[in-house]
A and B are shown apart, each in its own frame.
Chain A
């Protein structure tokens, strides 16, 4: 009888020990730091970048208006599979909301997110399918605004042996805003996030 019950008792005990799943309070997250990059690191880096841009005073356009910015390449030189668009989306969102710049979805470097519809509707305009549309609602030629600035950067990771059983992981977030007309660097900033922890912690 006991032999029959024991597996059920053990299974129930093990099931009871399983930690329960909780939603992260992203507003006041009391969670411990991790060796890899988590959402808090991206938010901190993006927040510091945006504040640096706003405080620089470099984006006040003479004669008013906003600079048109294209997305350049953000290189991921870390051991992690980081989607650099995740970082850039935050920076772009805040910079656009600040009223200093406006992002263009028409052009962008390499794999930078663009809106393919900008070009798709023009292909329709120039094809036989255009007959299906009201001509007045089709995008006229020469309407796209060329970017004046481009934002590009790099995320770098360096692993340093700290002590016997500890390691130091350094993450460098580098961003720069370049003037596409003359190639000059309008603004640039680097933010360093450093973490120290056990060698057993994996940072990739």
Chain B
């Protein structure tokens, strides 16, 4: 009975700690921030295993394009990594002209990037020609 009480108290404390308001824009990784359910030494393996089972990974929040003062389209893709581990992956941005054709360019190559666990990330790209009006982006796992 006493053990159950301890576990209940611990869980409540961790939940309350996890609910603490964090400064927006500041990310405190595990082992740096105060313990939460996801980082506590007791509950961490269960939460991490659950995350892996449900297959948490990269999610894209928004892709913004704008034309810079020199007339080149710029792209900023913002997303976040839902998993606990760092995700390394490759991306390729292809630029399209007004007729929807891919603009042949050296910049249409697979580029390396990564996102730290439970953190946001940003990918930036610049069109190689002023004729670019749209884009498409692909991602892939880094070859082993």
Contact = CB atoms under 8 A, between A and B. Distances in A.
B110 interface: yes
Given A54-B128, A99-B130, A60 B109 contact: no
Interface in B93-113: 105-107, 109-112
Contacts of B111: 44, 47-48
A32 interface: yes
Contact of B69 (A43, A46, A48, A57): A57
Contacts of B68: 55, 57
Interface stretch (A14-22, A89-97, A109-117): A89-97
B110 A60 contact: no
B70 A32 contact: no
User: Chain B binding site: helix, strand, loop or mixed by DSSP?
Assistant: loop
B107 A51 contact: yes
A46 B109 CA distance: 10
B129 A28 contact: no
B129 A97 contact: yes
Contact of B110 (A28, A32, A50, A100): A28
Contacts, number: 60
Nearest to B104: A97
Contacts of A54: 70, 72, 126-128
A98 interface: yes
Contact of A32 (B69, B105, B106, B144): B144
A90 B130 contact: no
Interface string B60-77: 000000001110101000
A31 interface: yes
User: Chain A binding site: helix, strand, loop or mixed by DSSP?
Assistant: helix
Nearest to B107: A47
Interface residues of B, number: 21
B116 interface: no
Interface in B109-127: 109-112, 125-127
A60 B112 CA distance: 29
Interface of A: 28-33, 40, 43-44, 46-48, 50-51, 54-55, 57, 59-60, 90, 93-94, 97-100
25 contacts: A31-B143, A32-B143, A33-B143, A40-B109, A44-B109, A44-B111, A44-B112, A46-B106, A50-B106, A51-B107, A51-B126, A54-B127, A55-B68, A55-B72, A59-B70, A60-B69, A93-B106, A94-B106, A94-B107, A94-B128, A97-B128, A98-B72, A98-B129, A98-B130, A100-B70
Please list the 6 inter-chain residue pairs (A to B) with the smallest Cβ-Cβ separation, ordered nearest first.
A51-B126, A55-B126, A30-B143, A47-B107, A60-B70, A43-B109
Interface of B: 68-70, 72, 74, 105-107, 109-112, 125-130, 140, 143-144
Given A30-B143, A43-B106, A50-B107, 17 more contacts: A31-B143, A46-B106, A47-B106, A47-B111, A51-B107, A51-B126, A51-B128, A54-B126, A55-B126, A57-B70, A60-B69, A93-B106, A94-B128, A97-B105, A97-B128, A98-B72, A98-B129
